[in-house]
Structure 1
Amino acid sequence: MKKKKTVVIGFVGTKLDNYRGRSRWDKWRPSIALTQHQDLGIARFELLYSGPFESLVEQVAADIGSVSPDTQVVPHALALRDAWDFEEVYGALFDFAKRYPFDPDNEDYWIHITTGTHVVQICMFLMTEARFFPGRLVQTSPPRSPGSGTTGSYALIDLDLSRYDQIAQRFSREQMEGVAFLKSGIATRNADFNTMIDEIERVAIRSRSPMLLMGPTGAGKSFLARRVYELKKARHQVQGRFVELNCATLHGDGAASTLFGHIKGAFTGAASDRPGLLRSAHKGLLFLDEIGELGPDEQAMLLKAIEDKRFLPVGSDNEVQSDFQLIAGTNRDLSADVVAGRFREDLYARINLWTYALPSLRDRAEDIEPNLDYLLAQFGEEQGHMVRFNREARVRYMRFARSPEALWTGNFRDLWASVTRMATLAQSGRINEAIVGDEVARLQRLWRPYAGRGSPETAGLEALMGHEAASRLDLFDAVQLEAVVKVCRQSKSLSDAGRTLFGVSREAKNKPNDADRLKKYLARFKLDWEQVSAI
């Protein structure tokens, strides 16, 4: 394995490093002393400073060059007026971290906290623990006794927050900022959703294990996956790309090639090598939406790629590597698909460590208004002019948006389309009641085909399964399940209902087990006999 280069990041010591003349070599100067250790090779020293200390920095750089010629000293002047102002110091270091080209795969970063004001040292600690500086702290100490040289000693500090409870409290603000980032600054009001995002923020920062986002189409799975990636990238936890694929678009032999790549000549039309999306996501994040649509072969190959970070491109005998993090999305009940044999149990177990169910827009009615404001602001940024509602128009739109008439079948996609239409038609940047009235009528027409979901039978399904699960059913499955539930409620027992439902096909079986067939069918929808037979 290739050895990483050691890179030190630290402030020049305006007092401890600031000795001039030949006598300076008789003094312990922490920045220079760190490079004098025989067992330590420092490839680069990023020397931070502020104020009129250019000559001191030049002297320190020259002295480091004389004792450690292989160490490159790179000065960085920070726009810092008061090194004792906590907010100013933290802001300057935060800006430095954002623009610095960290390369954790090839470099180890040591954050020197011996020099600088106490505020500087605290902020260096905070930045490192929060992973804005992806490295370890290093603390240097002077020689213990006279005559033992000027090198002194150094120690690497392991940041174990369980030992620093008081300091750990300082990071609550960082977490709040991370949560707000995942929500794009939208002041969501749904308590369950906010609790879920709080946990996702912690998991995103602390774990590289797969994550599974469940929810209906348009609930925001893709948007949230990208925000998780951007949050991790800001903390230097991923260096690669965000790669997204809807697995429902994969068909036939091209599915494996799209995901895992192929070599030239692997099949007809393979005129050149293709890396595949898994390799494109190396060191980054791969989002596979509608993962339940993958075929059995692709599921098996994906499981190996997740566990071993290795796989075979189509037509190749040589494995390739890709170290990616996976987020999967689905609008299906994968546990039911496992029971039905449509999805691999081992793959489901592997991606089911962190599973989150994103609620539909109808289940987050209190969040419609803050999302409305966000979408209007976004439209204004894109078009270069602000758009707002008249007071009466806003009241009318929100009354409809939160009413039972508003089905929001496409969830946030429907809301985005609605806002875009109204904002586009608004004259002088004002959405009036006439525009809202036309938009309400348009939405009612768009949702008319779904009005049947309010039928007594479907209402019964919603009461049985909950609105969220019932809304994810295809019309075919919903109609079939409604008929099955009706038979169950008219039957005396599970076996009696099975004989009625499978009255024709059971004649072709030597040992028909109608009760078991019905039991497995109900399990696909996470239902059992006691639930469906209750009136």
Structure 2
Amino acid sequence: STVLIQGESGTGKELVARYIFNASNRGQRPFVPVNCGALTETLLESELFGHLKGSFTGALSSKDGLFKVASGGTIFLDEIGDTSPSFQVRLLRVLQEREITPVGSTEPLSVDIRIIAATNRELENDVEAGRFRRDLYYRLNVIPIFMPPLRRRREDIPLLIDYFLERNGEEADHGERFTPAALEKLESYHWPGNVRELENVIEQVSVLAPSKKIGDEYLPDKIRNPVPQNFVDDQPKATPTLDTVELAYINWVMDQVGGSKKEAARILGIDPSTLYRKLTR
């Protein structure tokens, strides 16, 4: 079945895609990630579907596409929401017919491929606005997965630290590698860059810290001394209404306490029931 992973940039969508791949019966076959937003439409179609010699300017020889090369495995299509309408039509045919037609060819080729797609866009909104094909959306969204931002799942931070330590060739033991003060700073930081930012920080301090134990003094200044986020940063430039500012502030407080409604209500000085009403109005 196809999988659609949605969430902010850097939330670890490719990590989840790789986990799904490794746990599947295709885990011993190729896993091929493709960033759809980083390629032009022509290059993207050529990379995935392949092309015949002379089919477009620069096509000096024929080339097999990744759908064929990775047959039996999994293709991870990141930033699927950035694709063009014509590409969406071609991808829909792959999902419906299980076949591809290389650029410049009229002969379809059968492929056995699993597709996992990801996006940082709200595809339902794009579907309603006509920017993304409805039929393709439903074909991709067989198994939907939403990745919350890291600030909403702070309990995952120690596990992710262990994962990145192990990937860097170290023992996966955050409690042994970091002091309690450093871990507290890492868990309380708001992580605007999400999992990708955490990965970079762990790699940086692992290399720079001279001792086995990493104290908070080795953490970047933005983590040691975080600047409070402006809770109206994401609001329109027009003067916001009082309700809009209040809701933005409530959401900012929720971010600071890791999504705990009880703790947010305590800080705001209101009952949890009042907080719930304000969040759902």
Q: TM-score range by the shorter chain?
A: 0.7 to 0.9
Aligned residue for 1:401, secondary structure, equals helix
Deviation at 1:461, TM superposition (A): 7.6
* Contact kept in structure 1, 2:41 and 2:87, CA below 8 Å: no
Offset, 1:271: 1.1
Letter in 2 for 1:399: E
SS of the aligned residue for 1:431 comes to coil
Distance 1:254 1:380 in 2: 36
Alignment partner of 1:326 is 2:118:
no
Give the one of 256, 260, 270 matched to 2:49: 260
| Maintained 8 Å contact 2:186/2:223 | no
Q: Tell me which of 144, 149, 158 is aligned to 1:355.
A: 144
**1:249 equivalent in alignment to 2:35:** no
SS at match of 1:253: helix
Q: Is the 8 A contact 1:289 1:329 kept in 2?
A: yes
Q: Distance in 1 between matches of 2:218 and 2:11?
A: 26
Question: Within 5 A, what are the aligned runs for 1:383-462?
Answer: 388-389=177-178, 394-403=179-188, 406-436=189-219, 439=220, 441-443=221-223, 451-455=229-233, 457=235, 460=244
1:221 aligns with 2:4: no
Q: What value does the CA root-mean-square deviation take over the aligned residues?
A: 3.1
> Do the aligned partners of residues 378 and 387 (structure 1) sit closer, same or farther apart at CA in structure 2, a change above 3 Å counting?
farther
- How far apart are residue 456 of structure 1 and its match? 8.8
Q: 1:270-281 residue pairs with structure 2 within 5 A?
A: 270-281=59-70
**1:304 corresponding residue in structure 2:** 93
Q: Distance in 2 between matches of 1:225 and 1:460?
A: 36
Q: Deviations over 1:145-171 (max 9, x none)?
A: xxxxxxxxxxxxxxxxxxxxxxxxxxx
8 Å contact from structure 1 (residues 219, 359) kept in 2:
yes
Describe the shift of the 1:345–1:263 C-alpha distance in structure 2 as closer, same or farther (beyond 3 A): same
8 A contact 1:291–1:328 mirrored in 2: yes
Identity of aligned residues (%): 36
User: Which of 200, 212, 218 lines up with 2:4 in the alignment?
Assistant: 212
User: 2: CA distance between counterparts of 1:454 and 1:358?
Assistant: 23
Q: C-alpha separation between the residues in 1 aligned to 2:46 and 2:234?
A: 46
The alpha carbon displacement at 1:451 in A equals: 3.5
- d(CA) in 2 for partners of 1:462, 1:251: 42
Task: Output one character per residue of 1:38-68: Cα deviation in whole Å (capped at 9) or x when no partner.
Answer: xxxxxxxxxxxxxxxxxxxxxxxxxxxxxxx
Cα shift at 1:250:
1.5
Query: Shift of residue 362 of structure 1?
Result: 0.4
How far residue 346 of structure 1 moved from its aligned partner, in angstroms, is 0.6
TM-score after normalising by structure 2: 0.77
In the alignment, the residues of structure 2 paired with residue 462 and residue 410 of structure 1 have an alpha-carbon distance, to the nearest angstrom, of 25
Matched, 1:336 2:119: no
From the superposition, tell whether residues 455 and 287 of structure 1 become closer, same or farther in structure 2 (CA, over 3 Å).
Answer: closer
- Gaps spanning 5+ residues in structure 1: where? 1-208, 472-530
- Whether 1:240 and 2:32 are equivalent positions in the alignment is no
Matches within 5 A, 1:83-122: none
Counting only pairs closer than 5 Å after superposition, residues 454-473 of structure 1 correspond to structure 2 as 454-455=232-233, 457=235, 460=244, 463=247
- For residues 316-370 of structure 1, what are the alpha-carbon distances to aligned partners after superposition, in whole Å with 9 as ceiling and x for unaligned? 1111121101100111100100111110011001111110101111011122123
How far residue 374 of structure 1 moved from its aligned partner, in angstroms, is 3.4
Which of 1 and 2 has greater Rg? Answer: 1
Q: Supply the distance in 2 between the matched residues of 1:253 and 1:455 (Cα, whole angstroms).
A: 37
Q: In 1, distance between residues paired with 2:109 and 2:223?
A: 50
**C-alpha separation in 2, matches of 1:323 and 1:453:** 48
CA distance in 2, matches of 1:444, 1:425: 16
Residues 374-409 of structure 1: per-residue CA shift (max 9 Å, x gap)? 333443439xxx9722xxxx3322333333xx2201
Number of residue pairs matched? 245
Contact 1:288 1:327 in 2 (8 A): yes
Tell me by how many angstroms 1:255 deviates: 2.4
For residues 168 and 20 of structure 2, the distance between their equivalents in structure 1, rounded to whole angstroms, comes to 23
Task: Name the SS of the counterpart of 2:168 in structure 1.
Answer: helix
Q: Cα 1:252–1:333, aligned 2, differ >3 Å: closer, same or farther?
A: same
Q: Which residue of 1 aligns with 2:270?
A: none
CA distance in 2, matches of 1:310, 1:280: 13
- Report the Cα distance in structure 2 between the residues aligned to 1:422 and 1:456, rounded to whole angstroms: 31
Distance 1:317 1:455, change over 3 A: closer
Measure how far apart 1:248 and its partner are: 0.6
CA change 1:419–1:246 in 2 (3 A) is: same
Query: Distance in 1 between the 2:205 and 2:139 partners?
Result: 44
SS at match of 1:427: coil
Distance 1:432 1:287 in 2: 37
AA at the equivalent of 2:208: L
Contact 2:7 2:148 in 1 (8 A): yes
- Tell me the TM-score normalised to structure 1 length: 0.42
1:388-439 Cα deviation digits (max 9, x unpaired): 22xxxx3322333333xx2201111111122222222222322134324xx2
Q: Which moved more, 1:298-307 or 1:262-271?
A: 262-271
Question: What is the letter of the counterpart of residue 137 of structure 2?
Answer: Y
